[in-house]
Structure 1
């Protein structure tokens, strides 16, 4: 039960972080939001890790660093896919792959969910797809299959690596993960900025930083730090198979916030996905 609660909290935090990042990206370039979000998340996880204590082993830090590279790959591929390809393919494909890979690893290392929880896990996968899928207003775009697969593999690697880091090093693996995610995010933004300046002669939106523009990315980082720490804790009190699949339901939180905060409409497909996600969580909890 504790693992389920922590995994659901991680999903809510991840989904809320994505929502805030989307809103903040209306004022500044999304890659810059990512950079400052990662920096603030790294600071928070380092501070919390110092407070919690623990003696980080080299192995735990290496696993955390590998998770950071996976998270960076997943984020960059997802951002690129959402920007240039078909959202209705990229988002759900990344979510399902991010759920399936850790689930398979969990089964390989001995996870054996009960029959009721197993049904919930099976239902969670189409729930991720339905909730993430959005109406494609530009069907002539590239399909985005490669971007979706890369994003899913990256996030799946992140989920697996944090579980493999073990529980004897405090929260330091999460700090390593967040710190190692900063350089790729910064490099991606610098490349994007150079292209924008070359094409338009002007810097991207939000390039001049103010307290107002930094508030959104800071919130993204806080939520991201909460997400990664609760996920990390969940994997060490529960099965990776269950925790990773539940965490991959994070798009449900993003869609719900868009509905209630921005009054965006929820399609029938997404509504069915939300209901299916709720049923999946209930079955996994009961199992």
Structure 2
């Protein structure tokens, strides 16, 4: 298993844990407050790391960071809103389908030519993610529709985030990632203000948002490095396995029920990882 695959899986672990913490926090506070604190905490962490480990960023790197910030803010806002009003085992996996699908398409458009084994792994991962996200009988239809909408928009945002991050070279250092997080924070404040949503953090928000933000920033860093060691498509699919982490944490900590279909989906995702590693 090469370094790129290990880092992409590490990214999934970090993103999954960040989403779980942010989702729990969003049930107690405004999702906008959680996202804002998370983006700000991630920006501060990346800024400190970037000053300690300087790189050579160019203007296009910050342009890609701007686009990544738009995707990150959009994905986080709708994901946390969905997690706050729906089951974690439904919203997070739906978002992952888009997050996995868009990088694969863009990677092929940019000239990547995965082997047939890689395509098998990609298709298996998408099927597994979908199984993890299937509706359970106890969910109300209106609640499910809202969760699906939030998850779909979040997936598009995270897909944009993954694609933009892949365009930033390793030697650019961490300052573009700090800019990505800062832009996300600014966009969160602006959008919340326009929509009349509460975004000014309260004391109780700081712990939830900071923990989620630092973990998310770690996932972003791992993903960006992973794209330098493996293809964008493979890295995007593997990083998009984060819902399995969120679902397992929700089942362990919150005692959310994992259906038979979700268990099957997690198993298929595990097999997909092995297939992608061999490919």
Distance 1:156 1:74 in 2: 9
Q: Do structure 1's residue 178 and structure 2's residue 169 form an aligned pair? A: no
Q: Which runs of 5+ in 2 are unaligned?
A: none
- Identify the residue that residue 154 of structure 2 maps to in structure 1: 151
Q: Which runs of 5+ in 1 are unaligned?
A: 197-203
1:96-140 per-position Cα deviation (integer Å, ceiling 9, x unaligned): 122111101111222222332221111000111222345362213
Give how far 1:217 is off: 1.5
Give how far 1:146 is off: 5.1
- Identify the residue that residue 140 of structure 1 maps to in structure 2: 142
Distance 1:195 1:237 in 2: 41
Q: Structure 1 residues 75-84 or 159-168, which shifts more?
A: 75-84
Which 4+ runs in 1 deviate beyond 6 A? 84-89
Give the TM-score normalised by structure 1: 0.86
Counterparts in 2 of 1:175 and 1:32: CA distance versus 1, 3 Å:
same
1:202-253 per-position Cα deviation (integer Å, ceiling 9, x unaligned): xx9x96415xx42221111110110100011001111001000111111000
Distance 2:207 2:116 in 1: 45
Give the TM-score normalised by structure 2: 0.89
- Identify the residue that residue 257 of structure 2 maps to in structure 1: 265
Q: Structure 1 residues 240-249 or 171-180, which shifts more?
A: 171-180
Give the length in aligned residue pairs.
Answer: 276
CA RMSD of aligned residues (A): 2.5
Contact 1:87–1:133 (Cα < 8 Å) also in 2: no
Contact 2:31–2:81 (Cα < 8 Å) also in 1: no
Q: Do structure 1's residue 7 and structure 2's residue 8 form an aligned pair? A: yes
Counterparts in 2 of 1:146 and 1:134: CA distance versus 1, 3 Å:
closer
Q: Do structure 1's residue 102 and structure 2's residue 103 form an aligned pair? A: yes
Distance 1:207 1:72 in 2: 16
Q: Structure 1 residues 39-48 or 254-263, which shifts more?
A: 254-263
- Identify the residue that residue 76 of structure 2 maps to in structure 1: 75
